Structure 1
């Protein structure tokens, strides 16, 4: 006998679907993609809404580093 929303002990739990669609967000500064830990700056007269990481320090650490040329 099986009950709805319970996993089968022989096959294990059902795999969760990958996040896609409107809940998946991307930081416009560092490029991180995810579901949680974002904030959206509202649109102004001159700009569109901007999605950023909620933690400013963590976002700065993920910024792309410039390559230094060795002379």
Structure 2
């Protein structure tokens, strides 16, 4: 389960488009191996709750061209 809350800025005049926010991931997992060497035994049974927090920052580049305002007819 992924969740994101943040701010998106889109500027019409300049290519200054970006987003920034907090990112949160949740997972309900369980072990796949019968024996764990670091625990020197089997993994505890049951479902684990794994959480990951982070910051997401991005810069968006516009790919559209500006209109010249003139039209050419053939």
TM range (shorter): under 0.3
Q: Higher relative contact order at CA 8 Å, sep ≥6: structure 1 or structure 2?
A: 2
- TM-score normalized with structure 1 length: 0.22
Q: Counting helix residues as a fraction of each chain, which structure ranks higher?
A: 1
Higher Cα Rg, which structure: 2
TM-score scaled by length of structure 2: 0.22
The structure richer in strand per residue is 2
